Amino acid sequence: MVDEKTVVDSLRRVIDPDLKTDIVSLGMVKELKVEDGKVQFTLELTTPACPYNKDIEDSARKAVQSIPGVKEVDMKVTARVWSARTLGAGDSLSSVKNVIAVASGKGGVGKTTVAINLACSLARSGAKVGLVDADIYGPMIPKIVNIIQPPRIVANNKVEPARIMLGIKVMSLGLFVDENTAVIWRGPLVASAVRQLLTDAAWGDLDYLIVDLPPGTGDASLTLAQTIPLTGVVIVTTPQAAAAVIAAKALRMFRRLGIPIIGIVENMSYFVCSHCGAESRMFGNSVTEKMASELDAPLLGRIPLMPEVSTNYDKGVPIVVADPKSPASKALNEISRNIAARISILAHESKAKAEKM
Ligand SMILES: Nc1ncnc2c1ncn2[C@@H]1O[C@H](COP(=O)(O)OP(=O)(O)O)[C@@H](O)[C@H]1O
Ligand SMILES: [Mg+2]
């Protein structure tokens, strides 16, 4: 007769390729029941967006099916996003599992583009997602996505974030300040605006909160690092050597602040012609790979330069939603899956570290 132990032993041979650990040790096998050759269990994946989910599912099912005596396998698949953050006492963002900052060395490299498409991509995979536009001097998000529901004050002076497509919750200074008002605040005011956007919002349960930072390593970045426990930072750069130099500088600063580096995204990597699909490298050979390996940070992916990425902004719909089949969308979706996977790894590492202490 098949018993639970046989099933567990067999599932131990299924390894999560990212975490390099078996699914039983990772606690992904839940509610196991074995009765008269019928095996019932829930497979709890670490994120709905993991690139290997299908493989893990298939391997788990096969592992159980191949046990002699098993007549039926009833496997439910769910996903619970792991949290890589360590929460401080009184953390006002305690219902948010992961906070991901998107940063860059210089402006115009595609930080906001990556942030908004990442939000949409994760939300579409089934995750609960929020987005903070921390670019106080040039809040772009309300201009480039359709606001379905404006923000409103709820109990305790908290603000219910605005809603955009896919149920994504958004906070941006641009929702509260007239577009034509030039923001000329300096250090302390910028810091307090960023803090308020994060902590005065009633976020509710979120799997991922994405923070679109202003370029560089100024007040907003420092405030963010000091205000809340960040899961990690994604650095956006372009293929030119000059961009890589300041991206590397930003990366080192985040590292010095003790913030884990999720990885590097290279934007505008090559040009894809909308008519014939031909690819060309406008900036010559990229230096990003070399920089990533020198800094020991993963390269999460490359996004092609395509006019559609930009023109879709005018319609208020990011490219991954407007045209999911475009090469840029494919690249952005892959980057999102890699980010989700890296977060599961960081969570696994911090859990392992906590267990050792
Ligand atoms: N891959 C891309 N292809 C075409 N245009 C892009 C791409 N990435 C960004 N852009 C455009 O470049 C400009 C700057 O991008 P943005 O995301 O606002 O940069 P940042 O937030 O770093 O300042 C925007 O007009 C955006 O539409
Ligand atoms: Mg921006």
Assess whether pLDDT exceeds 80 at residue 88.
Answer: no
Summarize pLDDT for 124-142 with one digit per residue, the tens: 999 999 999 988 878 888 8
Q: Ligand 1 center to residue 310 CA distance, Å?
A: 6
Taking CB atoms and a 6 Å cutoff, what residues make up the pocket around ligand 1? 104, 107-113, 140, 267-268, 303, 305-306, 309-310, 313, 328
CATH superfamily of 4-79: Fe-S cluster assembly (FSCA) (3.30.300.130)
Q: Ligand 1 center to residue 246 CA distance, Å?
A: 18
Q: Ligand 2 center to residue 142 CA distance, Å?
A: 12
Average pLDDT, the chain: 88
- pLDDT score at 82: 80
> In a mutational test of the pocket of ligand 1, which residue from 305, 310, 320 has the highest number of ligand atoms less than 8 Å from its CB?
310
- pLDDT score at 89: 43
Mean pLDDT value across residues 42-52: 85
How far is C-alpha 170 from the chain's CA centre? 15
- Whole-model pTM: value is 0.85
The pairing of strands 152-153 and 129-133 is unpaired
Ligand 1: atom nearest CA of 267 is 1
CATH superfamily of 99-332: P-loop containing nucleotide triphosphate hydrolases (3.40.50.300)
Q: Ligand 1 center to residue 237 CA distance, Å?
A: 11
Mean pLDDT value across residues 24-36: 92
99-332 has the same fold as 4-79: no
Summarize pLDDT for 90-118 with one digit per residue, the tens: 566 888 999 999 999 888 999 999 999 99
Extents of the domains making up the chain: 4-79, 99-332
Assess whether pLDDT exceeds 70 at residue 87.
Answer: no
Summarize pLDDT for 178-197 with one digit per residue, the tens: 766 656 666 667 778 888 89
- pLDDT score at 278: 82
